[in-house]
Amino acid sequence: MPKNEREQKLRSIVSMLDLPGRWVGLATAWLALPLIGCLVYEVVLRYIFNSPTMWAYDITYMLTGTMFMLGAAWTLGEDRHVRADFLFNIMSPRWQGALDGVMTLCLFLPAIFFFTFATLDYAADSWARSERIITSPWMPIIYPFKTVMPIAGVLLLIQGISELIKSVYAVKTNRHFREQSI
């Protein structure tokens, strides 16, 4: 297979791996609207009518947590996570790819794998017990929120594999995967 065909095939594989995180991340961004609505509603009731709700805090932290967890894979795919890159930026693309690849393979993927399977049991147990938040007077159900954790883990595993492929590409070609277009 010619080099350009191989690269095109690699790009289509990476694009397929990036897709679930991108779609879920874009869809999750819409959770900002009910989050803002909930907060505005609470502020109006609390400070204008002196009648706070008992549910706003629970809803806002569940929506915020969901946004962060489900948006993490998309953020990783866009290379937007915080990084201490004062040394990283002076490295060549090959060395950046090598460092990213080693960190992804040795730290990120094992940690996310463990997180995914640990939270799968955590969510399943929560569903089995129809768990509620007992520290809240409203006592909302918590198991849908806990289900978001293993879903986020699966999305991060998929995105991690994509990032590993991008790192190998950078090591082999001394070019950043994102810079090259077909």
The pLDDT tens digits of the residues spanning 111-126 come to 999 999 999 999 999 9
User: Is there a domain that residue 117 lies in?
Assistant: yes
User: Is there a domain that residue 42 lies in?
Assistant: yes
Nearest to 168 by CA among 112, 113, 107, 102: 102
Please tell me whether residue 24 adopts helix, strand or coil conformation.
helix
To the nearest whole number, what is the mean pLDDT of the chain? 94
Return the pLDDT at 122: 96
Is residue 165 over pLDDT 90?
yes
**Structural domains in the chain (count):** 1
User: Is there a domain that residue 147 lies in?
Assistant: yes
Q: Which two tokens stand for residue 144?
A: 């849908």
Model confidence at 182, pLDDT cuts 50, 70, 90, reads: very low
User: Global pTM?
Assistant: 0.92
User: Is there a domain that residue 76 lies in?
Assistant: yes
**Residues 6+ away with beta carbon under 8 Å from 120:** 150, 153
User: Is there a domain that residue 111 lies in?
Assistant: yes
CA distance 13 to 7: 10
User: Is there a domain that residue 181 lies in?
Assistant: no
User: Is there a domain that residue 73 lies in?
Assistant: yes
C-alpha to C-alpha distances, 110 to 103, 136, 143, nearest whole angstrom: 10, 35, 25
pLDDT tens string 54-101: 999 999 999 999 999 999 999 999 999 887 778 888 999 999 999 999
Return the pLDDT at 74: 97
User: Is there a domain that residue 165 lies in?
Assistant: yes
Q: Structural domain of residue 135, as residue ranges?
A: 3-173
Return the pLDDT at 84: 75
Return the pLDDT at 85: 78
